[in-house]
Structures are given as structure tokens and as C-alpha cells.
Structure 1
Amino acid sequence: MPPTNSPTIRQRRLGTELRKLRDRAGLTATGAASLLGVNQARISMIETGRTPISGERLRSMAHAYDCHDERLIDALAGMTGRRARGWWEEYRDHVPVALIDLAELEHHASAFRVALLIHIPALLQTADHARSLFRAVVPPMRQYEIEHRLTHRMKRQGVLHRADPPLYTAIIHEAALRMDFGGPVVARGQLRHLLDMSELPHVTVRVIPFGTDHFPTSGQSFDYLEGPVPQLDTVQLDSHHGACEFLDADAQLAKYRTVLDRMDSCALGPALTRDFIQHRIQEL
């Protein structure tokens, strides 16, 4: 398969996981190349995601690296092959690359857990709410940039409406329910939409109310996207300059799983959360 100078995040992650397997086996790139009968440059290209590989080649590499975790090997084999062109590719020249990567990750995730403090989760936003957020970005975006961001976000939400949707759990602080972005009319529409989405069998929304005395977070919102096996989970962090940071080191994943578990322990249950949101709508 021909090399690429712009590997997708999925291709890069596959390469990263293969490098981890090689490191655990105590092999240098040169040693791995010798075992596999290729040159060192080929190993480097594979580990940076620039050279696609077949499932058969991946299994040969896993065997050479003495990996016996069949679930992991099967999951990695499912990531091989040529680059798949998803709907997000049409936005590659119109939105930041990190948002293209995020859409691809969401498409392949088996489950989501998200935690937010002052914003409604992107996949649960109405178009009016999202547009009001984009209009407040610093520096200001041009109108066509806002529309590109908006249509991209709306298409991302399709993952929750497909035939085989992932499980989606959102933990939202009460502060997010009181940020009236776009004014009262937009805010009411957003909260009603949040209620409707929380009724879907695969969507769970939970609120952490003001007054909770053991709120376990540094103030940063994040998404935890689960892969087919825990080793392929990914944490996505937002930033003020519009980029996304993706974390996949074992220690990082363990830390954010713990944070989510602690936030979950101090959030209202789904039914009480719906009552809470309904009360907030009546206040507006």
C-alpha cells in the first residue's frame, strides 16, 4: 500500500499501539525490522501511520512482539487497511484538522463519557445554541466559517441517531444549565432538546448541582471515548484556541476514568436530572 503524508488519527493511533507493543517486547526498530524481514524505515513509516498495513501483516507483527492479547490484536486488525473516507473528509479544508480527527474518533467509538462545566455537550446542542457559541469565539469567525463549523457539528451528532448508536453518558454541572447562550428563547429550546435526548435508551444525562462539596475536577471539560478494548480508549481535551488535545497513555486514561467515576458518584441520577432540567426550563 502506498505511503501517505497525512495519516488520519486512526492510522496514527494504530502506529502508536504497534510501537507500544514493540517497546514492551524490548525490541528496537532495527531488531523488529530484522524479525519481520523489512527495513527499519518501513517500521518507522508504519509506526507513524504513514504506511497502511494489512490485517495479516499486523498479526505477524503482534506475533513477533510476543503479544498474546487476542482481543487487542483483533481490535488493531480492525484498524488496518486503506484510509476510509468518512463524511468528515469533506470538511478537511474548512475546519481545524483536530475537529476532523474528533469526528473520526466519535464515529468509531463504542461508548462516550463526557464531563462539562459551563457548556452543553456538542453532540447534544441545538443548532441555535451552537451558532450562538460560534458567534462568541475570539477572534470572531467569518459567517461562512461559522456555517462550516455548525454543519460539521450537526453532522457529528448523527452518531447518536444511527442504527447502532454508542452508549453516551454526559455529566453536566448545573452552571452549564444556567448559561443562557443566545438568550432565553434559545436557552429554553436547548434545555428541552437536552430533555428529549436524555429519553433515548442509549443516552444518559446527569447533573451535578451547585452545593456539591466534593466536586473532583480541575475545571477542564473533556470527552472519554471508549474503543473496542480499553487500550484503545482516547481522552479529548478542549482548548480556548479551538484545537483538541488527544491523550492515550495508559496513566492518562486511568486518571480520567477515575475523575469520571468520582464525578458520577456526586451527580444526580437520570430521573432526578430530568426533573432538575424541567425546573430550570420553568425558571426561564
Structure 2
Amino acid sequence: MVLGKRLRHLREKAGVSFEDAARAIEVTPLTVRRIEKAEVGLRIPYVRELLHTYGVPAAEVDDFLSLAREANQPGWWYKYRDVLPDWFSAYVSLESEASVIRLYEPHYVPGLLQTHDYAAALMRVGFPNETKEDIDRRVALRLKRQDLLAKPESPAIWAVLEETVLRRPVGGAEVMRAQIDRLNEALDLPKVRIQIIRLGTGAHPGAFGPFHYFRFGFSELPDVVYTESLAGAVYVDQPVDVVTYLEVLDRMSVQAEPVARTRAILGELRKEL
């Protein structure tokens, strides 16, 4: 997406039309549009010729092509493609590149903060007809995503959870106690913030369903909001729509208990188990 937008910027700066760019690489103008929108892979011969057409200096061409080759490499999640729906692979990609992840979860602990046993219990309920091997693969993918938290360039994560998330028994009391302990450990990470909306808070503006907000360290990438359903997902990137979600997150964070209270609340809930 970043390189596609950079190609568009270079084309427009050079005053080259879609039709002229298409003639340079002997394709249709639609193909050039799709390259710029990251709807197709970056074929190196095409990219090289486009950069020459746009008058990019040779040294910069080499740097750009190196980035294009890197972008064409499958992500680490490719080996899990047998249990990774196409509509969710984009989520994993966004998650891996985000600098900020804010989210609202009314049902379950976010995947990045789940324990193995909690994740396995959810997978068994969500995919009752799958084999143990496939369930194990799904759990392995979810836990592999958590490697992100240990990286020096890990994103800032700000999660707003309903109290029901921690009261809903997933896998039994022992699994829930371990899951609450995991959340306490996550609070020790410098870039993780967790807030809890108590049951007595009442109505709030986000009570339509879970959603995740991503911000990136690239000016070419817009903020993106992810929402999920039983049959797929929607990725929202129009600024006017994204701002609506962001404002809701801000209002919910005010209604939720302060971050300083999270450990105490987790302790209270753990004692009840």
C-alpha cells in the first residue's frame, strides 16, 4: 500500500497520465490503477520501467526496487494460510505494521492478550467441527501474533474491555484465573493500557459490537478501523468514518475506570473465581 501510493505520487509529480504509464509497461490503465491501489503484486520489471518513465534517479530506483522485493515476500502468517481466512489475513498484516492499536471488546479478551488455554477454549466453541490439529493451528497463529508485544518497535495498545469480558467463564475458573494473571502481566509492558467498563456504567456510545482502530507510522497509510461479523469483516478507511470510531473510543475511555484502577478490578474479579 505504501509503495503503491508512492508510485502514484511519483506519477503525478512527473505529470504522467494513467494512459501514458500503461503504454510504458504495455498494460491497460486499469492495471496501473490497481498497482497504485495495492490490488496486485509489484512486478519488478513493471516497477522499474514506471520509475524510469517518471524520471526517478538510478540510485533511488535501486532503493525502491529493494523495498518492492521485500513487499512481495509473504508475511510470517503465510504458513498458517490453511486456517487463516482471506478476510482476516489483512487484519494480521495491519496489526503487524501498526504503531497504535486501540480497541473495544465487549465479549472476549483481545487475541494479543490471550493465554493458550483461553484461546483454545474459544476456538473449540467457534469451530466445533474442526479437528484437534486445525484447532491447534489456529491457537498457534493467535499466540504467534503475540510476538509483536516483545519487539522494540511494538505498537502502543489501548484496550477498553467490558467487565462482562472477565466475568464470562471461558474454559473454567482455572483458565480464567490464568487469563486475568496474563492481563496483569500485560500491564507491566510500557506500551499496554487496559481500561474496564464496569457493569454499572450503563449505556455508552460503543455498544454496537467490537472494533479495532489502527494507526501507522507511514504518512501514506490512512488510519483503519476493523469490524468483524460471523461471515467476514469490514475495513473502514474513509477519514470521516474513522473519526467517528475514534471519537467513540475517546468517550468510552472517559466512561471506563481509570487505568490506575485496572489492577484492583482484576484482583477483585480473580478472587470471585
What is the alpha-carbon distance in structure 1 between the residues aligned to residue 238 and residue 108 of structure 2?
A: 26
| CA distance, structure 2, for counterparts of residue 212 and residue 167 of structure 1 | 26
* CA distance in 1 between partners of 2:66 and 2:144 (Å): 23
Distance 1:84 1:150, change over 3 A: same
Query: Which residues of structure 2 form unaligned runs of 5+?
Result: 57-63
Aligned partner of 1:146 in structure 2 is 135
- Kindly indicate whether residue 68 of structure 2 is the aligned counterpart of residue 81 of structure 1: yes
- Distance, in Å, in 2 between the alignment partners of 1:58 and 1:252 is 34
1:128 aligns to 2:128 (yes or no): no
Corresponding residue to 2:98 among 98, 109, 113: 109
Matched, 1:269 2:258: yes
Structure showing greater radius of gyration is 2
Of 217, 230, 235 in structure 2, the residue corresponding to residue 240 of structure 1 is 230
Describe the SS at the equivalent of 2:126.
Answer: coil
Superposed CA RMSD:
3.1
Find the aligned partners of 1:275 and 1:78 in 2 and give their Cα distance: 52
Q: Deviations over 1:181-236 (max 9, x none)?
A: 00101011101111111121111111111121341114310111111257522111
TM-score of the pair, normalised by structure 2:
0.80
Q: CA deviation at 1:55?
A: 9.8
CA distance in 2, matches of 1:78, 1:117: 44
Q: How does 1:3-82 map to 2 (within 5 A)?
A: 11=1, 15=4, 31-34=17-20, 38=24, 40-49=29-38, 50-52=40-42, 81-82=68-69
Are 1:216 and 1:259, in contact at CA under 8 Å, matched by a contact in 2?
Answer: yes
Q: How many residues are paired up?
A: 251
For residue 68 of structure 2, give the secondary structure of its aligned residue in structure 1: coil
Match of 2:156 in 1: 167
Q: Matches of 2:202 and 2:223 in 1, distance apart? A: 30
Structure with bigger helix share is 2
Counterpart of 2:137, as a letter, is H
Letter in 2 for 1:127: H
Q: Deviations over 1:241-261 (max 9, x none)?
A: 3x3322212222111111111
2:225 is aligned with what amino acid? V
Amino acid of the structure 1 residue aligned with 2:216: G
Q: How does the TM-score come out when normalised to structure 1?
A: 0.77
Q: Secondary structure at the match of 1:187?
A: helix
CA distance in 2, matches of 1:259, 1:79: 40
Answer whether contact 1:117 1:219 (CA < 8 A) is retained.
Answer: no
* SS at structure 2 position matched to 1:102: helix
State the SS of the aligned residue for 1:219: coil
Maintained 8 Å contact 2:8/2:36: no
Please point out which of 187, 192, 205 is paired with 1:203. 192
Q: CA deviation at 1:86?
A: 2.5
The AA in structure 1 aligned to 2:141 is: H
Output the CA distance in 2 between the equivalents of 1:79 and 1:278.
50
- The separation in 2 between residues aligned to 1:253 and 1:56, in whole angstroms, is 36
Change (3 A) 1:51 1:150: closer
Tell me the SS of whatever aligns to 1:140.
Answer: coil
Q: Which runs of 5+ in 1 are unaligned?
A: 1-10, 64-76
Q: In the superposition, relative to structure 1, how do residues 46 and 138 fare at CA in structure 2: closer, same or farther (>3 Å)? A: same
Structure 1 residue ranges, 4+ long, deviating more than 6 angstroms after superposition:
18-22, 58-61
Shift of 1:93: 2.6
